Structure 1
Amino acid sequence: MQVVLPILFASVAGMGHAFEPDHLLAVGNLISRRDTMAEALRDGVYWGLGHTTTLVVVGSFILLGRVTFLTSGYFEAAVGLMLVVMGISRLLDQRREAAKVRPGVAPSRAAYAVGLLHGLAGSGALVLLVMSEIRNPWLSVLYFLVFGIGSILGMFIVAGMCSVPFTKRMKINRVLKLSAVTLSSLLCIGYGGWMIYGSI
């Protein structure tokens, strides 16, 4: 029972993981470029898939290969740098009227890539936590997979909630939308800088 319970609660933990500040900022930045909730939800799912991919692959690599360098804080710094770049990019994009991202394969790839990097940064800490609870490495891998599924669902919810002010149906005031995008971008830059400072 001590082994089964952590796995049963893995999906719930994964959903909660999706609501961490750096995840919210990254996905909020991505979906602020979208005009429909469907596009935003797709970005949320692809972010979750990227996060889960890295979590399962890297987590398995650490557990089964006894690799320790992947628990380095430099990956957290990389996520911080990514947030800074995303924030600056969004500030520049809103000044270009023709800078709308065309719906299609490219936006999904961007969201997937962002999820991949976030998964890399969080894998080390999660592996250490799971190793203290589950001794069987294959059960630990199962935990990562269930945790990842929970994070996909959680990010789907996050994307839907965050996208509401940016959908066409809201007909949000242009100045208000500009302010919201500027604020989210500055938060991205500020939090990213704090992550870099705290990780190096």
Structure 2
Amino acid sequence: MMALGFLSVLSAGLLMGILHAFDPDHVMTMSSLGARPDARGATARYALSWGVGHGGILVIAALALLLFDVPMPETLPKGAERFVGVILIAAGGSLALALWRSRGGDQPPSSLRSKAPFLIGMVHGTAGSAAVFALLPIGLLSPLLGVLYVLVFSSGVLIGMMGFGHGLDRVQTLIATQARTLDKPLRGSVAVLAIGMGSYWLVGA
């Protein structure tokens, strides 16, 4: 009975993780990164990197908190929350600049840009850590099982973001082949939305 109840808790954690991947700031940041002319077809790979960064920081924080009773400094999630707004503005501005400079030829992303999703995922994970641990059903779990719960939640986030990244790649390929005149305007709209959301995020942080 206890095992069945714990499996239910893990299943709920997995589902919550999948839904968490589709938070507006996550989706807009990934859309901005994937919409760059030099990142065509790379969104799924970016999503994997982002998910590993997001989950990795949460698991490290869970290990520190639950096993060693070392909480994450309270100012860190708050600072990361504000930095999410900066990232959104930077991603939107970078996308707008790349589109303006683009001459129609797609180039592979630089090695530095390829590493950016992992670091951004870590920032998003840090920003959301307070909410994740606030919802952690600690009363039902031992410290080790609590870490397992966070690992399952993070796996759900990875699954959700990978699904989004794969879907965005497919949509962008379809637009590029079937409705090429809409390609650049839609990417430009993503840039504007990212900058707008980032500005709003900073005001509300």
Match of 1:91 among 88, 96, 103: 96
Indicate the percent of aligned positions where both proteins have the same amino acid: 28
Distance 2:175 2:201 in 1: 35
Alignment of 1:48-87 (within 5 A): 48-63=51-66, 64-69=69-74, 72-87=77-92
For each residue in 1:137-192, what CA deviation from the matched residue of structure 2 results, as whole angstroms up to 9, or x when unmatched?
22221111111111111111101112233227842544411211111111111111
The one-letter amino acid paired with 1:167 is T
Q: CA deviation at 1:72?
A: 4.2
Distance 2:140 2:87 in 1: 32
- Which shows bigger deviation, 152-161 or 2-11? 2-11
Match of 2:136 among 125, 130, 133: 130
Whether the 8 Å contact between 2:46 and 2:117 is mirrored in structure 1 is: yes
For each residue in 1:15-63, what CA deviation from the matched residue of structure 2 results, as whole angstroms up to 9, or x when unmatched?
1111110010011111112322xx2211111111111111111233344
Structure 1 residue 42 corresponds to structure 2 residue 45: yes
For each residue in 1:58-109, what CA deviation from the matched residue of structure 2 results, as whole angstroms up to 9, or x when unmatched?
2333443134415642321111111111111111111112695525744431
Structure 2 segments unaligned to the other structure (5+ residues): none
Equivalent residue of 1:91, what SS?
helix
Distance 2:198 2:88 in 1: 5
The one-letter amino acid paired with 2:201 is M
- Which shows bigger deviation, 151-160 or 174-183? 174-183
Distance 2:162 2:25 in 1: 16
Structure 1 residue 141 corresponds to structure 2 residue 152: no
Match of 2:190 among 175, 181, 184: 184
Equivalent residue of 2:101, what SS?
coil
Number of aligned residue pairs: 197
Distance 1:169 1:139 in 2: 45
Structure 1 segments unaligned to the other structure (5+ residues): none
Structure 1 residue 9 corresponds to structure 2 residue 12: yes
Structure 1 residues 45 and 164, CA gap change in structure 2 (3 angstroms) = same
Tell me which residue corresponds to 2:118.
112
Distance 1:97 1:61 in 2: 45
Tell me which residue corresponds to 2:177.
171
